[in-house]
Amino acid sequence: MSGNTFGRSFCVTTFGESHGPAIGAIVDGCPPGLALAEEDIQADLEARRTGTSQHTSQRHEPDRVRILSGVFEGRTTGTAIGLLVENVDARERDYEKIKDRFRPGHADYAYQQKYGFRDYRGGGRGSARVTVATVAAGAIARKYLREKLGLTVGGWLSQIGTHRLDCVDPAAARSNPFFCADPSRLAALEDYLKQLRRDGDSVGARVSVRATHVPPGLGEPMFDRLDADIAFAMMGINAAKAVEIGDGVAVAGQRGSEHRDELRPEGFLSNHSGGTLGGISSGQDVIVHVSFKPASSIQVPGRTIDVAGRPAEIVTTGRHDPCVGLRAVPIVEAMLLLVLMDHVLRHRAQCAEVTSPTPVITD
């Protein structure tokens, strides 16, 4: 299977399946000398880990990362960094009775048509389990960007089903199982997820993420635009169906006089464009929204076909998320970090000596 590598200067190759022995990543292009330990990566893995609340999959994986290469005496060497996370709580028996049937809305049918056979155990490569590798790689980018540029990335759940959620307190998003940045909505979300569990159903969600202290100049005017690479990265996340930058789809109803981000010596007056202009970072916060479909593994009976093309009914039992968006926040953060890290290194290679006569303005 091709298409497992992401990035140009900061390259990440992932491997592994939901019920295989391990998930892993090779991170190539990390500058040498960065202090890096397994504990630096572990915090991000804890944020996406299953089984930490009653509202996510009850698959209990410790997700302890091992650094296999690329680090010596606590610092990166500039060579490829090997990361490995073992799968210890895989339960193949949950899929035995549906192994010959396709879950509607899942990748099962498409995989079967493309490869002629498939790993039916949890969806194989199509499982959200594989995102543990990108989150681990993103943690390396997070540490480098924070230490070298002061750049930070934080996300929150901005919608679940019909519930739209404001970002009232960004720090609160990491203190509850919903990644909700509005503490006043937690009780309602608790009731909503409990009802979903009782119904045996799932629901979609929208995740928002903000990168601060992004330097201006990242990205290219044409095909390697920063916003285009962000959209490409986000659509590589399992279950992602739409990506918005800044105001996103709302721009269709705006006038030019409303949408444009006017400038003054003290900074921009707005940020409708989400931190990019013409595909290049403006120095404003980069703001991204990703919408995720409802999970396809549900207990509501549905019509399907089996591998022979015969009509069948399917019910998916086992340990599944009623809303994949609840664990998508650290994944979306990781993908944005990887894109920004890659563009920072690419910009350094081409434009490190560029000096603009125009001063950098801030928000």
R_g of the chain computed on alpha carbons:
21
As a residue count, the chain comes to 363
What is the DSSP code string of 95-136?
HHTTTTBPPTTSSHHHHHHHHSS---STTGGGSGGGHHHHHH
Predicted pLDDT at 318: 66
Tens of pLDDT, residues 79-125? 999 999 998 876 666 777 888 899 888 888 998 999 998 888 777 78
Predicted pLDDT at 1: 52
CA angle 32, 37, 42 (to 5 degrees): 130
Sign of CA dihedral 285, 146, 348, 2: negative
Predicted pLDDT at 55: 59
pLDDT digit of tens for each residue in the chain (363 aa)? 578 999 999 999 999 988 889 999 999 999 999 999 999 999 999 998 865 556 565 566 788 999 999 999 999 999 999 999 998 876 666 777 888 899 888 888 998 999 998 888 777 788 888 999 999 999 999 999 999 999 999 999 999 999 999 999 999 999 998 999 999 999 999 999 999 888 988 999 999 999 999 999 999 999 999 999 999 999 999 899 999 999 999 999 999 999 999 999 999 999 999 999 999 999 999 999 999 999 888 888 899 999 999 999 988 876 677 888 888 999 999 999 999 999 999 999 999 999 999 998 866
Predicted pLDDT at 20: 86
- This prediction has a pTM of 0.94
- Catalogue all structural domains in the chain, each as residue range(s) with its CATH number: 5-351 (3.60.150.10)
21 phi, psi to nearest 5 deg: -70, -30
